[in-house]
């Protein structure tokens, strides 16, 4: 009979954020696979949990997953933890989950701490829809296609960033997204937790004068409806009404549908626009 894998979220700062269920799983597991055994040992010692630790991190995830699968097939129960937060979210975990699914091995994902939702609510930005992108690549040639794909999204955008890369990333976001609102959430749940809310241009200037410290979650305003409408208007504001109608016809719309669309664009009645279409 197979054992079970448990993906156990750990506190992102304040150790009191551990759940009772997480402690129960850690106490009952045969082994604990840890991203950084030294960091996990601090957590386990704090809660007086003594277990064998297996190193499981970004650089050995593929090979070590096979080892863990073997132990699970022997009937061992394994708890997987990362340094802080939920395994699989910008941390090791997704590889072993895929292998468990392929092998038919049971696993459970425990709910728990994650910086994403904490920062989102702190930001004061739209929480009804959001898009988490994690760490952006270092090189412009790799991150530019990503931001091109995101810049027109209306969802609130969430990124992670390290302090030594923060200023460069803020400049990149400003240059590609414009001067949107941003919340910079630093050291969440820790002693020096700090939330700064301001436009991107001001954020760039602020961190040129104040050295970034600690890990950051960047919560950026999605593209506004007003901004999208302005861009749509710029596409036709220099066109005559006849040219505007013809533009939509050339794009494949019927004259009737083109008239409807132009009327909506210009906030005029369809009958008013129809007058301009008679000779087309």
Residue 39 vs residues 30, 72, 149, 247: alpha-carbon distances, Å: 19, 24, 36, 62
Q: What is the pLDDT of residue 231?
A: 64
Token pair of 103 as six digits? 């092998």
The model's confidence at residue 235, banded by pLDDT at 50, 70 and 90, is: low
Assess if CATH 3.10.450.50 describes domain 5-109: no
CA distance linking residue 106 with residue 224, whole number of Å: 43
Beta strands at 216-220 and 156-161: parallel, antiparallel or unpaired: antiparallel
Residue 33 region, left (φ>0) first, then alpha (ψ -120 to 50), else beta? beta
DSSP lists the bridge partners of residue 220 as 157, 182
User: Residue 261 carries which DSSP code?
Assistant: H
Beta strands at 181-186 and 194-199: parallel, antiparallel or unpaired: antiparallel
**pLDDT above 90 coverage of the chain, percent:** 77
The model's confidence at residue 268, banded by pLDDT at 50, 70 and 90, is: confident
The model's confidence at residue 237, banded by pLDDT at 50, 70 and 90, is: low
**Contacts (Cβ under 8 Å, ≥6 apart) of 221:** 125, 126, 156, 157, 180, 181, 182
Q: What is the pLDDT of residue 227?
A: 73
User: Residue 60 carries which DSSP code?
Assistant: T
CA distance linking residue 9 with residue 81, whole number of Å: 6
The model's confidence at residue 136, banded by pLDDT at 50, 70 and 90, is: very high
**Contacts (Cβ under 8 Å, ≥6 apart) of 33:** 53, 54, 55, 56, 64, 68, 78, 79, 80, 81, 96
Longest dimension (CA), the chain: 85
**Predicted confidence (pLDDT) at residue 266 exceeds the cutoff of 80:** no
Q: What is the pLDDT of residue 279?
A: 67
Q: What is the pLDDT of residue 177?
A: 95
CA distance linking residue 215 with residue 100, whole number of Å: 31
pLDDT one-digit tens code per residue, 207-220 = 999 999 999 999 99
Residue 126 vs residues 118, 152, 182, 231: alpha-carbon distances, Å: 13, 15, 12, 22
CA distance linking residue 11 with residue 222, whole number of Å: 28
Sheet harboring 78-81: ordered strands across?
Answer: 52-55, 31-34, 78-81, 5-7, 107-109
Q: What is the pLDDT of residue 56?
A: 95
pLDDT one-digit tens code per residue, 53-104 = 999 998 999 999 999 999 999 999 999 999 999 999 999 999 999 999 999 9
Q: Mean pLDDT over all residues of the chain?
A: 91
How much is the pTM?
0.81
pLDDT one-digit tens code per residue, 11-66 = 999 999 999 999 999 999 999 999 999 999 999 999 999 999 999 998 999 999 99
**Contacts (Cβ under 8 Å, ≥6 apart) of 129:** 154, 155, 156, 222
Could you state, in order of their start, the residue ranges of all structural domains in the chain? 5-109, 115-223, 226-274
Q: What is the pLDDT of residue 267?
A: 75
Architecture of the domain spanning 115-223: 2-Layer Sandwich (3.30)
pLDDT one-digit tens code per residue, 153-167 = 999 999 999 999 999
Q: What is the pLDDT of residue 232?
A: 64
């Amino acid at each position: 009979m197979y054992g079970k894998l448990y993906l156990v979220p750990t506190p992102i700062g304040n150790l009191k954020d551990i759940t009772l269920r997480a402690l129960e799983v850690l106490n009952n597991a045969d082994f604990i696979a840890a991203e950084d055994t030294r960091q996990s040992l601090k957590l386990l010692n704090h809660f007086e949990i003594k277990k064998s630790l297996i190193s499981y991190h970004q650089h050995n995830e593929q090979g070590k997953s096979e080892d863990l699968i073997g132990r699970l097939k022997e009937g061992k129960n394994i708890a997987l933890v990362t340094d802080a937060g939920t395994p699989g979210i910008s941390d090791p975990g997704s590889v072993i989950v895929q292998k468990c699914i392929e092998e038919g091995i049971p696993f459970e994902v425990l709910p728990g701490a994650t910086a994403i939702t904490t920062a989102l609510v702190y930001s004061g930005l739209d929480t009804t829809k959001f898009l988490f992108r994690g760490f952006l690549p270092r090189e412009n040639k790799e991150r530019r296609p990503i931001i091109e794909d995101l810049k027109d999204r209306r969802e609130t955008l969430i990124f992670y960033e390290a302090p030594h890369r923060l200023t460069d990333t803020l400049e990149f976001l400003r240059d590609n997204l414009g001067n949107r609102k941003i919340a910079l959430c630093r050291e969440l749940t820790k002693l020096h937790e700090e939330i700064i809310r301001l436009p991107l241009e001001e954020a760039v200037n602020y961190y040129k004068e104040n050295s970034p410290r600690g890990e950051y979650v960047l919560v950026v305003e999605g593209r506004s409806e007003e901004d999208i409408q302005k861009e749509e208007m710029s596409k036709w504001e220099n066109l005559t009404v006849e040219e505007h109608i013809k533009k939509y016809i050339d794009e494949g719309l019927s004259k009737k549908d083109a008239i409807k669309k132009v009327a909506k664009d210009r906030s005029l009645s369809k009958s008013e626009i129809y007058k301009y279409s008679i000779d087309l």
